[in-house]
Structure 1
Amino acid sequence: MQFGGDRALWLRVSSICDRPTYDGWIWLAGYAINPTTGEALARREVFARIAGLQINPQLPAGPSGTARQTTRRRGV
């Protein structure tokens, strides 16, 4: 519910954590992404209800077809 509707969190999952959880729940690690560009915004760990997860294969993919490259900014 926290990330429903306009507050949806798009997460590119990099791993599933093996921490113990309640039945039907899971810890996911990955990157919050911009759903329009596919650009990684921030590393996140999310405790989520498995039944509430949705897969969106229509997000933009990078050159390899599996991950989008991100650019890093240099400090001023």
Structure 2
Amino acid sequence: MKKENIKLLLETTEESNSIGINHYSTKESPSLVQIKFSETTGVYTVYFSKLPKEEQLDSIDAATELIYGYLSQSP
């Protein structure tokens, strides 16, 4: 999958335990970033929990790396 085909939707959520079809978290802070993939829309949604808004943008790169890591393992 090409980089430009990936759409990130950024949301803030109080519920850090939401479960997606594919769910990943950063090694440094397991509850910090969650990624959901919707088979219906083909969109990855990144949830930042317990993270101040001013720090969310700093985590976009980490979330993107998680998505690419998953895609690189897919057949």
Name the TM-score, length of structure 1 as normaliser. Answer: 0.26
Structure with the largest fraction of helix? 2
Higher strand share: 1
**TM-score, length of structure 2 as denominator length:** 0.27
Larger radius of gyration: 1
